[in-house]
Structure 1
Amino acid sequence: MAQSVLKFGGTSVGDFNKIKNIAYMLKSRIDNGEKLVVVVSAMGKTTDTLMENIESLTTQPKDEHLAMLLTTGEQQTISYLSMVLNDIGVRVKAMTGYQAGIKTVGTHLKSKIADIDSERFEKAFETNDILVVAGFQGVNDLLEITTLGRGGSDTTAVAIASSIQSSCEIYTDVDGVYGTDPRIYPEAKLLNEVSYEEMMEMSALGAGVLETRSVEIAKNHNIPLYLGRTLSNVKGTWIMPQTEILEKKAVTGVALDTHMIHVTLTYPMQNFVLLQNLFDSLEAQSMNVDMISQIENQHGLQLSFTIKDSEVVQIEDIIEQLIIDYPHLKYTMKEHYAKLSVIGTGMRDMSGIASKAFRTLINSNVHFYQTTTSEISISFVVDRDLGEDAVRILSEAFNI
């Protein structure tokens, strides 16, 4: 019997009517001979409400206590959906991350999946047709509840699919993957298919439709990955190996990340120990930095990089600790920038993409302060208030 993994995001299960409609759709698939693992997020703004509750109690909650609380959102959803499925005659089992055998490593709030016990799913399918699994959560070696961070339910779904060797369908409030955000550029085209590499790059560079780790797992295990709108007849997007995509464009997408902070450190002399201490601290906090540039000259050392704006407190703490040992270390953090990126695997084989992007921005008077490139992307730091205009300009130039 065919097995599939489906994931429904927070907006898809945002109220009880939506949960009921999803339940009937799932029953129709069971009636057609499938067995399903259904991964769900917390309903609507549940996680935001839980965070607000915390603020009224404490300003310094321990991470393990936060993880314990935040995972209750997903557990509510698996309970509600399972109750409805049971009422309409479906053999269903609700499973927390622990019950699903999702083992994690790392910090309580930014864990990574180390292993999934596929035998638990095989055993549960002997007496059930649908397994409803709480996304975003797992347990570490100490049997402590952990969360997988931003987009953790996507990661849960794809990891389970890789464990039981099935396809993975992710349903949300968008029709699929667009070349750029249609709210910024309404003419943006819906992509029928996109490569794993392009999707990973787009996600990492600001396109918020899929979490980067989930696409990476799909790529590593060759899992067919589908993104579409919940309960819609509109055909969504398949994410697949580049070799299976027939029509290859020079540029597939344009991404904008406004949730970034530009950090610059200056020190009056070259000091590699200082840099090592900095990056050791970043690693210990599971913080990713991007767009790194370093200048060393007779005036000393200057290091610039970007981070997510959600990590401002952590980076300030790290730098202030470094200043204790390096009192001449200075730093600035600027919030009025955005990261603008052009993405496409066609850049490998087609010349002139970089020069066209540079020329288009220059001719449109969009000033950029820093540039980095990868094999399939070019990223620019621009003024945040010009970011959306720049997206429209580049999307038009590259027919996105």
Structure 2
Amino acid sequence: MKRSVLKFGGSSVSDFLKIKNLAGYLKSRIENQEQLVVVVSAMGKTTDDLLTSVSHLTAKPNELDLAMLLNTGEQQTISFLSLALNDLNVRTKPLTGYQAGIETRGNHLKSKISSIKADFLKELFESNDLLIVAGFQGFNEFGELTTLGRGGSDTTAVALAAALDCTCEIYTDVTGVFSTDPRIYKDAKRRELISFEEMMEMSALGAGVLETRSVELANNHSIPIYLAKTLSDEKGTWIVPNDQMLERKAVTGVALDKEMAHVTITHPLETKAFLTDLFSELEGSEINIDMISQIQNKDGLQLSFTVKESEESVLNDLFDLLKKSYENLYVTIETTYCKLSVIGAGMRDMTGVASKIFNTLLTSNIPFYQVTTSEISVSYVLDEKNGEYAARLLCQAFDL
């Protein structure tokens, strides 16, 4: 009997009519002799609403308390979907992350999955047609509830598929992976196939279609992902191992990340101690930094990097702490920039990509302030007001 993991995002279960329609679809899959593990997110904007509620109580919530609260969003969804399926005579078992045995490690709000009780889940299929698992959540070695961070339900789904050695289907409100966000460029092309490598780069650089860790997990365990629109007959996109890509374009996509902050640090002394303390604090706070550049001269140190805009308050606390030990430390955190990235595995073997990007921006009088490259991407820091316009220009330049 075929077994699959299916994941449905918050927009797919945002109201009771959608949940009922989803239950009908799942029943048809069960009647087709399938065993399903269904991973669901919180309904609609539930997580955002919970965070707004917390802001009325405290500006600095305890992470353990916050994780406990945020777990309730997905718990509602698994209950509602199970009720709808039971009404259709489908045997279901709703499971929180704790009940599903999803053990995690690390920060309560940005945990990483360390293990899953796959044998326990397989046993449940002896008396159930379908398992409904709350995405985004788990528990740590102390039995405390944790969350996997934004987009964590994608990670839950892929991790379950890896543990159960089956396929993973992720359903959302888009019809697949496009060359860029269709809301920015209406002529963006949908990809039938994209490699893990390119999808990881696009996700990490702000594409927002899939959570980066979920693609990393799929790559590590060779689990193809099918991304498609919920309850739609439109074809989606398969995200597959790199060796299954028969043809590579020089450029696959353009990603625009508006939710970033640009940090500039200056310190008059050339000191290894400061850099050691800075990066230790960043690691301890589990802050991922990107696009690092450093200038060291007779006037001291200037260091720049980009981070997610959501990390701004944590960074402010971190720098307040460092300023107690390092006088004349000057920090600016700028949130009026964006990051524009051009991605394509074919860049390794084809010349002229970088020059075309530079010429496109320069001839359109679009200034950029920082550039970084990898084997398969080139990223620029731009003024946010130019981001969407520049993305459209580059899609046209590379026929995306």
Question: Which residue of the partner structure matches residue 346 of structure 1?
Answer: 346
Alignment of 1:272 with 2:266, yes or no, is no
Displacement of 1:333: 1.4
Question: Which residue of the partner structure matches residue 91 of structure 2?
Answer: 91
Q: Partners in 2 of 1:247 and 1:33 — Cα distance?
A: 35
Q: Secondary structure at the match of 1:246?
A: coil
After TM superposition, list the pairs within 5 Å mapping 1:196-345 onto structure 2. Answer: 196-345=196-345
Query: 1:155 corresponds to which letter in structure 2?
Result: T
In structure 2, list runs of 5 or more residues that go unmatched. Answer: none
Q: Partners in 1 of 2:68 and 2:364 — Cα distance?
A: 50
Q: Secondary structure at the match of 1:296?
A: strand
Question: Which residue of the partner structure matches residue 164 of structure 1?
Answer: 164
Query: 1:286 corresponds to which letter in structure 2?
Result: E
Displacement of 1:59: 2.4
Question: Which residue of the partner structure matches residue 46 of structure 1?
Answer: 46
Q: Partners in 2 of 1:235 and 1:138 — Cα distance?
A: 32
Alignment of 1:114 with 2:114, yes or no, is yes
Query: 1:277 corresponds to which letter in structure 2?
Result: D
Displacement of 1:300: 0.8
Deviations 1:176-198 (A, max 9, x none): 10000110100000110100010
Query: 1:82 corresponds to which letter in structure 2?
Result: S
Q: Partners in 2 of 1:120 and 1:12 — Cα distance?
A: 28
Q: In terms of mean alpha carbon deviation, does 150-159 or 53-62 score higher? A: 53-62
Question: Which residue of the partner structure matches residue 179 of structure 1?
Answer: 179
Q: Secondary structure at the match of 2:38?
A: strand
Q: Partners in 1 of 2:342 and 2:378 — Cα distance?
A: 5
Displacement of 1:84: 0.8
Query: 1:79 corresponds to which letter in structure 2?
Result: S
Q: Partners in 2 of 1:291 and 1:67 — Cα distance?
A: 30
In structure 1, list runs of 5 or more residues that go unmatched. Answer: none
Question: Which residue of the partner structure matches residue 145 of structure 1?
Answer: 145
Deviations 1:142-194 (A, max 9, x none): 00000000110000000000000001000000011000011010000011010
Q: In terms of mean alpha carbon deviation, does 253-262 or 55-64 score higher? A: 55-64
TM-score normalised by length of structure 1: 0.99
Q: Secondary structure at the match of 1:71?
A: helix
Deviations 1:239-290 (A, max 9, x none): 0012112231110000000111111101112111101101111111110011
Q: Partners in 2 of 1:354 and 1:144 — Cα distance?
A: 48
Q: Secondary structure at the match of 1:208?
A: coil
Q: Partners in 1 of 2:82 and 2:153 — Cα distance?
A: 17
Q: Partners in 2 of 1:397 and 1:137 — Cα distance?
A: 42
Query: 2:171 corresponds to which letter in structure 1?
Result: Y
Question: Which residue of the partner structure matches residue 22 of structure 1?
Answer: 22
Question: Which residue of the partner structure matches residue 392 of structure 1?
Answer: 392
Q: Partners in 2 of 1:66 and 1:319 — Cα distance?
A: 24
Query: 1:143 corresponds to which letter in structure 2?
Result: G
Displacement of 1:134: 0.2
Question: Which residue of the partner structure matches residue 195 of structure 1?
Answer: 195
Displacement of 1:60: 2.5
Question: Which residue of the partner structure matches residue 68 of structure 1?
Answer: 68
Question: Which residue of the partner structure matches residue 36 of structure 1?
Answer: 36
Q: Partners in 1 of 2:253 and 2:279 — Cα distance?
A: 31
Displacement of 1:90: 0.6
Question: Which residue of the partner structure matches residue 364 of structure 2?
Answer: 364
Runs of 4+ displaced beyond 6 Å: none
Q: Partners in 1 of 2:45 and 2:351 — Cα distance?
A: 45
Q: Secondary structure at the match of 2:11?
A: coil
Q: Secondary structure at the match of 2:307?
A: strand
Q: Secondary structure at the match of 1:254?
A: strand
Question: Which residue of the partner structure matches residue 134 of structure 2?
Answer: 134
Question: Which residue of the partner structure matches residue 376 of structure 2?
Answer: 376
Deviations 1:5-64 (A, max 9, x none): 000000000000100111111111111110000000000011111112212222232110
Q: Secondary structure at the match of 1:42?
A: coil
Q: Secondary structure at the match of 1:12?
A: helix
Q: Secondary structure at the match of 1:378?
A: strand
Q: Secondary structure at the match of 2:191?
A: coil
Q: Partners in 1 of 2:59 and 2:350 — Cα distance?
A: 52
The alignment yields a C-alpha RMSD, in angstroms, of: 0.7
Displacement of 1:354: 0.9
Query: 1:16 corresponds to which letter in structure 2?
Result: F
TM-score normalised by length of structure 2: 0.99
Query: 1:258 corresponds to which letter in structure 2?
Result: K
